[in-house]
């Protein structure tokens, strides 16, 4: 089967290691230095040496490969290299060398074609066409030189894109005529048609201007009849399997864009379904065509009903409807697997596009049969296949669900039937789908205990984003399916769970029940809240009973751990049930406390995570006296807390403290007392450390164990502050003075260490541990500031002493000892205080801004986290304290300079933040009194830097915001919103700012891209103004420009400037003819 080249990813020899051509030997090591002999362009090229260099670049030793590729790249870069291509192709005996010669030619055609004269263009075109025909005309040549022919095809397609239709309008007729002379030539021509179709309709974005892409598409469509007739002739008359396969493959590319008439007015569909689908070697080719046809949504609905009936009738002849497709795929060939995936894609596309029109009694049998096939395919153990099916089942289930919820009467869904009949129609199919969902449910984010490739249980540290997305989609689908028939969903889950229980009780091997049990439990958790309370209660009791029974009879820690994690996951997903059943909730929580002492990997983590989830969703139950009890259960938890957390590591312990914090935070009485009891143990340890510090003049704080303990205590306080929110103020007030003392102590220690031992000391473990304490203190204050609802309290009690300790320390410290968390805290304070933080701005800028700029200005790599937080701080300042910023005249220029520098940053997140700041700053400044001064100083500079990042491919992800800001600038000039001249009036004279910017942009672009003609540059600059009023048109204008910047020379665009100007004139006339579209000019107003 022909596999096309990826036209945008090919490198020198990426996919083919040919048999070593006769006469080409490995380049002796002694001759490696002689490789650069091929770089002498003053005399005849040494073809034999070139052969050896090309061979060495693929087959040589690592040193030879590196040297050879370096020399070959230098050869390719020489401006005269392409002129040697024809002699290389004629004289060489090596396909490696032929491939290299063609790779020299390719960039010439892509980017410098228009710089060649007409005779050179014709010569290259004729030569390539001749070679393609010669190589594709006989079996031996095709087999021996397949690599070279593929590359030739790529080159030819690039030429076609440049020449067709203006200079080679007969291309289609010529290639069709040649195809009829020889089946081998026809086969290769089909490949060329396919590649051209992909280039024009699939890959045009970013490679061709919109005008060129539309021209090629229009030409393709206008001349397609002869291409289609050639395809039809081949499919009807040829008996050559490879030609038929290639033709089907090519036709599948055409079907995404050809007019629907070709599909339905000719005999294409019956031929695909009845002639090719039943034949195994053509089955997948036919399916690819049908996949594209399924997406066509025009014409008579009867056409699609005919397709449905024909397809089902043909399918049952070689795949009976009761076939166990999952088992067949497991034992089938790769082609069988491909067919099942193609079958899923066709059915999903077809149903998504046409199901609504097919729901008619005449089509019911075929429609359900086709759905039955798709449901059976959903049971196949192939993730990609299942994803395809899942998409459609989500659509169908959602559709049926909302019809149920929205009907206020009997809405006819099928002719002559009611909604209930429609649901009943799909009911047998959806039963299979529910089974597939339960059997294949993806792992939720909360489950952190998983199996590795060796079948061992491990704790997962990295989130599997793909699995999480898969779970979310499956969960949504299963929720809709459960709403439609909750009893069927529950029956499937309980039955499957019973089967797993039987396996556990019979001591079955773990590989028979570990994974299926987990997937069932994940499915159980996914439908929480879907059933009625009574039904959910019965269902969950059955599930938990079976799981607990399994846990009792299971042997071995691994087996018990699997069941335990599933129990924890399930109970954590049913907060409604837990809230309604206190005794069960208390039992579950006590079970979690037991699991916190289980040392199996991941079990303690999951127990803590589940406890946190339950604490958030059921928090009030723990602080309320329950029926039959004499005190809230939170009292028992606080009394047992030292034992509960005794086996936990610091991270797990902190999670437990956060969980209890949520409970206490929901209490309406004795909250401060409960907080004191919760924090008794951490406060006691803190007091011990501080007592020792005071006894040793703070020297005890410098010990590694003391720093480590303080870090853990502060981290615990951070988690508690997160859950208590405002209520945490009573705890912070107790040791806030101590916190500041600790911060200053470690600041002094770090400064002394740097002074005595130099900056390298900041990399030692001791100084790192000191900095860790400081960083956690800053994070704690940040969390509290975010949570505090009383800005006045912050301003009076906490922020002044905190800034006194932090700002001066940051300014005086060595850059390697400065903490990014200081900048993060400043951002949080400004976000919380908003304009009330204005009074702090001068001091912050004097102590923090300048020294941070000095740290990061020399490159884009040092202090990465400082950079991120610095630009976050700048954005907060611009957003909430813009007025104060503008009043600090000395700092405004540095602020703008920093933002402009940020948009050029190599880190995408920082560059994006810089663009957002610049966009928001522009909006702020144009409404301020400082607008005119800013415009005069910065507009041209902003344009310089915005065009710099626009044309730099490294900053391509920021295109949207780059275009947005550029459009605002040109729109402001176009609408005369900038009243002051943007040019130096003492040395320059322009009628308007628009005239000046036109000149400025033309000059800027002309100097940067000397390959562009003056006419093209002028057209681009003018378009920046004419398209500024339309966001979409402006972006497209920029995209076309980016394509043009890659090309050298020019085409006939300048010849069409008059037509373009005329077109613009007609547009202007039309706009003037419609009242309100044009703003009145000053002349009109004065008249």
919-957 tens-digit pLDDT: 999 999 999 999 999 999 999 999 999 999 998 888 888
Answer whether residue 116 shows pLDDT above 90.
no
pLDDT band, very low/low/confident/very high, at 722 (cuts 50, 70, 90): very high
When mean pLDDT is compared across 110-124, 262-276, 692-706, 928-942, the lowest value belongs to 110-124
- pLDDT at residue 83, as a whole number: 87
- pLDDT at residue 1033, as a whole number: 93
For the CA atoms of 1015, 1017, 1020, 1024, the dihedral, rounded to the nearest 10 degrees, stands at -120
Answer whether residue 19 shows pLDDT above 50.
no
Burial group, residue 763, by CB count within 10 angstroms (0-12, 13-18, 19+): exposed
pLDDT tens digits, one per residue of 895-922:
999 999 999 999 999 999 999 999 999 9
Answer whether residue 168 shows pLDDT above 60.
yes
Q: Is it true that the peptide bond before 165 is cis, omega within 30 degrees of 0?
A: yes
User: Do 771 and 710 contact (CB within 8 A), yes or no?
Assistant: no
Query: What's the Rg (C-alpha) of the chain?
Result: 36
Helix boundaries (H) for 554-581: 557-572, 575-580
* CA–CA gap between residue 1083 and residue 1077 (Å, rounded): 17
- Give the total residue count for the chain: 1087
pLDDT band, very low/low/confident/very high, at 9 (cuts 50, 70, 90): very low
* CA–CA gap between residue 1077 and residue 1065 (Å, rounded): 15
Answer whether residue 581 shows pLDDT above 60.
yes
- pLDDT at residue 61, as a whole number: 86
User: Do 856 and 867 contact (CB within 8 A), yes or no?
Assistant: yes
Percentage with pLDDT > 90 across the chain: 64
* CA–CA gap between residue 517 and residue 559 (Å, rounded): 11
- pLDDT at residue 16, as a whole number: 28
* Per-position b or e across 573-598, b if 16+ CB within 10 A of its CB: bbbbbbeebbebbbebbebbbebbeb
User: Do 661 and 724 contact (CB within 8 A), yes or no?
Assistant: yes
- pLDDT at residue 408, as a whole number: 37
When mean pLDDT is compared across 31-40, 493-502, 532-541, 607-616, the lowest value belongs to 31-40
* Per-position b or e across 745-758, b if 16+ CB within 10 A of its CB: bbbebbeebbeeee
Segment 853-858 long-range contacts (CB within 8 Å, at least 24 positions apart): 853/894, 853/898, 854/815, 855/815, 855/818, 857/901
Tokens 């070679």 belong to 131
Angle at 823 between CA 822 and CA 825, to 5 degrees: 65
DSSP designation for 451: E
pLDDT band, very low/low/confident/very high, at 346 (cuts 50, 70, 90): very high
Answer whether residue 1087 shows pLDDT above 70.
no
- pLDDT at residue 36, as a whole number: 78
- pLDDT at residue 117, as a whole number: 87
Instruction: Compute CA distances 209 → 315, 348, 1046, whole Å.
Output: 44, 34, 11
DSSP designation for 701: G
Instruction: Compute CA distances 345 → 145, 316, 337, 350, 385, whole Å.
Output: 35, 18, 13, 8, 8
Three-state SS at 449: strand
* CA–CA gap between residue 16 and residue 151 (Å, rounded): 11
Answer whether residue 24 shows pLDDT above 70.
no
Average confidence (pLDDT) over 860-887: 94
Answer whether residue 23 shows pLDDT above 70.
no
Average confidence (pLDDT) over 378-384: 93
pLDDT band, very low/low/confident/very high, at 390 (cuts 50, 70, 90): very high
pLDDT band, very low/low/confident/very high, at 7 (cuts 50, 70, 90): very low
User: Do 221 and 258 contact (CB within 8 A), yes or no?
Assistant: yes
- pLDDT at residue 1084, as a whole number: 37
- pLDDT at residue 213, as a whole number: 84
* Strand intervals (E) in 479-532: none
User: Do 400 and 419 contact (CB within 8 A), yes or no?
Assistant: no
Residue 777 half-sphere exposure, CB side, CA atoms within 13 Å?
28
Phi, psi of 255 (to 5 degrees): -65, -15
Closest Cα to residue 777, out of 732, 828, 817? 732
Q: Which contiguous run of DSSP H or E holds residue 412?
A: none
User: Do 505 and 553 contact (CB within 8 A), yes or no?
Assistant: yes
Helix boundaries (H) for 331-460: 334-358, 364-377, 383-406, 419-440
Answer whether residue 778 shows pLDDT above 90.
yes
* CA–CA gap between residue 770 and residue 817 (Å, rounded): 10
* CA–CA gap between residue 877 and residue 881 (Å, rounded): 5
pLDDT band, very low/low/confident/very high, at 421 (cuts 50, 70, 90): confident
The token pair at 497 is 């769970």
Answer whether residue 695 shows pLDDT above 80.
yes
User: Do 457 and 602 contact (CB within 8 A), yes or no?
Assistant: yes
Burial group, residue 80, by CB count within 10 angstroms (0-12, 13-18, 19+): exposed
């Amino acid at each position: 089967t022909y596999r096309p080249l990826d036209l945008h990813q090919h490198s020198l020899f990426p996919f083919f290691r040919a048999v070593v051509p006769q006469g080409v030997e490995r380049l002796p090591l002694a001759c490696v230095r002689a490789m650069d002999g091929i770089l002498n362009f003053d005399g005849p090229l040494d073809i034999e040496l070139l052969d050896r260099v090309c061979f060495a670049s693929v087959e040589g030793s690592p040193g030879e490969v590196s040297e050879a590729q370096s020399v070959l790249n230098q050869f390719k870069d020489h401006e005269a290299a392409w002129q040697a291509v024809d002699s290389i192709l004629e004289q060489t005996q090596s396909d490696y060398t032929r491939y290299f010669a063609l790779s020299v030619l390719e960039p010439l055609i892509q980017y410098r074609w228009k710089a060649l004269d007409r005779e050179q263009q014709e010569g290259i075109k004729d030569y390539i066409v001749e070679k393609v025909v010669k190589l594709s005309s006989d079996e031996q040549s095709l087999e021996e030189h397949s690599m070279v022919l593929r590359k030739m095809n790529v080159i030819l397609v690039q030429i076609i894109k440049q020449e067709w239709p203006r200079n080679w309008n007969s291309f289609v007729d010529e290639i069709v005529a040649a195809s009829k002379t020889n089946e081998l030539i026809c086969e290769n021509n089909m490949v060329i048609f396919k590649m051209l179709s992909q280039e024009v309709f699939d890959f045009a974005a970013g490679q061709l201007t919109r005008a060129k892409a539309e021209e090629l598409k229009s030409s393709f469509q206008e001349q397609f009849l002869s291409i289609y007739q050639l395809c039809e002739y081949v499919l009807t008359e040829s008996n050559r399997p490879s030609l038929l396969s290639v033709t089907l493959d090519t036709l599948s590319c055409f079907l995404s864009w050809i007019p629907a008439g070709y599909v339905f007015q000719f005999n294409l569909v019956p031929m695909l379904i009845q002639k090719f689908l039943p034949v195994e070697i053509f089955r997948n080719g036919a399916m690819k065509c049908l996949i594209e046809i399924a997406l066509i949504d025009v014409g008579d609905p009867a056409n699609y009903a005919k397709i449905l009936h024909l397809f089902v009738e043909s399918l049952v002849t070689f795949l009976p409807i009761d076939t166990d497709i999952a088992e067949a795929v497991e034992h089938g060939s790769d082609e069988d697997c491909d067919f099942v995936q193609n079958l899923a894609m066709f059915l999903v596309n077809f149903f998504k596009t046409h199901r609504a029109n097919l729901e008619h009694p005449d089509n019911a049998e075929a429609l359900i049969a086709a759905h039955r096939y798709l449901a059976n395919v959903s049971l196949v153990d192939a993730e990609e296949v299942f994803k395809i099916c899942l998409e459609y089942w989500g659509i169908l289930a959602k559709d049926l669900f909302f019809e149920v919820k929205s009907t206020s009467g009997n809405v006819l869904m099928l002719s002559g039937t009611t909604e209930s009949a429609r649901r009943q129609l799909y009911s047998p199919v959806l039963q299979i789908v529910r089974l597939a969902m339960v059997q294949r449910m993806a792992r939720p984010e909360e489950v952190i205990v998983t199996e590795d490739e060796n079948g061992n249980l491990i704790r997962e540290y990295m989130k599997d984003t793909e699995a999480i997305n898969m779970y979310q989609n499956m969960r949504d689908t299963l929720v809709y399916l459960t709403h439609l028939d909750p009893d069927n969903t529950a029956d499937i889950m309980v039955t499957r769970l019973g089967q797993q229980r039987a396996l556990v009780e019979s001591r079955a091997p773990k590989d028979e029940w570990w994974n299926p049990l987990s997937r069932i439990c994940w499915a159980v958790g996914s439908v929480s809240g879907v059933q009625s309370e009574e039904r959910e209660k019965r269902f969950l009791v059955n599930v938990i009973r079976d799981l607990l029974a399994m846990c009792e009879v299971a042997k071995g820690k691994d087996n018990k751990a699997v069941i335990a994690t599933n129990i924890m996951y399930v109970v954590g997903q049913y907060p409604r049930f837990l809230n309604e059943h206190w005794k069960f909730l208390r039992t579950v929580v006590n079970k979690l406390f037991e699991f916190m002492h289980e040392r199996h990997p991941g079990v303690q983590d999951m127990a803590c995570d589940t406890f946190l989830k339950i604490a958030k969703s059921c928090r009030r139950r723990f602080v309320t006296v329950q029926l039959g009890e004499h005190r809230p259960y939170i009292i028992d938890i606080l009394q047992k807390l030292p034992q509960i957390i005794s086996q936990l590591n610091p991270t797990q312990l902190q999670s437990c403290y956060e969980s209890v914090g949520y409970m206490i935070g929901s209490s309406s009485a004795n909250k401060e007392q409960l907080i004191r009891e919760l924090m008794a143990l951490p406060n006691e340890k803190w007091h011990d450390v501080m007592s020792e510090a005071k006894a040793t003049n703070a020297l005890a704080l410098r010990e590694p164990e003391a720093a480590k303990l303080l870090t853990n205590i502060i981290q615990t306080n951070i988690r508690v502050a997160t859950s208590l929110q405002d209520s945490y103020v009573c705890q912070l007030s107790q040791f806030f003075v101590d916190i500041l003392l600790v911060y200053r102590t470690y600041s002094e220690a770090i400064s002394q260490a740097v002074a005595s031992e130099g900056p390298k000391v900041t990399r030692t473990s001791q100084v790192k541990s000191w900095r860790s304490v400081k960083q956690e203190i800053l994070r704690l204050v940040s969390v509290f500031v975010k949570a505090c609802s009383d800005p006045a309290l912050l301003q009076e009690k906490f922020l002044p002493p905190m800034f006194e300790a932090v700002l001066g320390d940051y300014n005086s410290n060595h850059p390697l000892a400065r903490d990014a968390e200081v900048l993060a805290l400043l951002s949080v304070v400004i976000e919380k205080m908003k304009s009330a933080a204005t009074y702090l701005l001068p001091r912050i800028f004097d102590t923090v801004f300048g020294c941070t700029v000095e740290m990061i200005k020399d490159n884009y790599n040092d202090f990465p986290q400082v950079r991120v937080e610095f630009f976050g701080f700048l954005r907060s300042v611009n957003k909430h304290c813009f007025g104060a910023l503008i009043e600090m005249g000395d700092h405004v220029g540095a602020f703008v300079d920093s933002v402009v520098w940020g948009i050029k940053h190599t880190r995408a997140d920082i560059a994006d933040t810089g663009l957002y700041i610049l966009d928001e700053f522009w909006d702020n400044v144009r409404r301020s009194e400082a607008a005119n001064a800013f415009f005069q100083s910065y507009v041209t500079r902003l344009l310089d830097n915005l065009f710099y990042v626009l044309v730099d491919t490294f900053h391509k992800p920021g295109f949207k915001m780059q275009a947005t800001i550029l459009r605002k600038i040109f729109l402001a000039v176009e609408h005369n919103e900038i009243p002051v001249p943007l040019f130096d009036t003492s040395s320059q004279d322009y009628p308007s700012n628009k005239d000046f910017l036109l000149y400025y942009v033309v000059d800027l672009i002309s100097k940067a891209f000397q390959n562009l003609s003056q006419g093209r540059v002028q057209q681009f600059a003018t378009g920046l103004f004419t398209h500024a009023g339309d966001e979409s048109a402006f972006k497209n204008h920029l995209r076309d420009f980016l394509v043009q910047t890659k090309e050298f020379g020019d085409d006939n665009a300048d010849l069409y400037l008059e037509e373009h100007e005329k077109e613009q004139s007609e547009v202007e006339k039309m706009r003037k003819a419609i009242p309100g579209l044009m703003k009145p000019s000053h002349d009109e107003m004065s008249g």
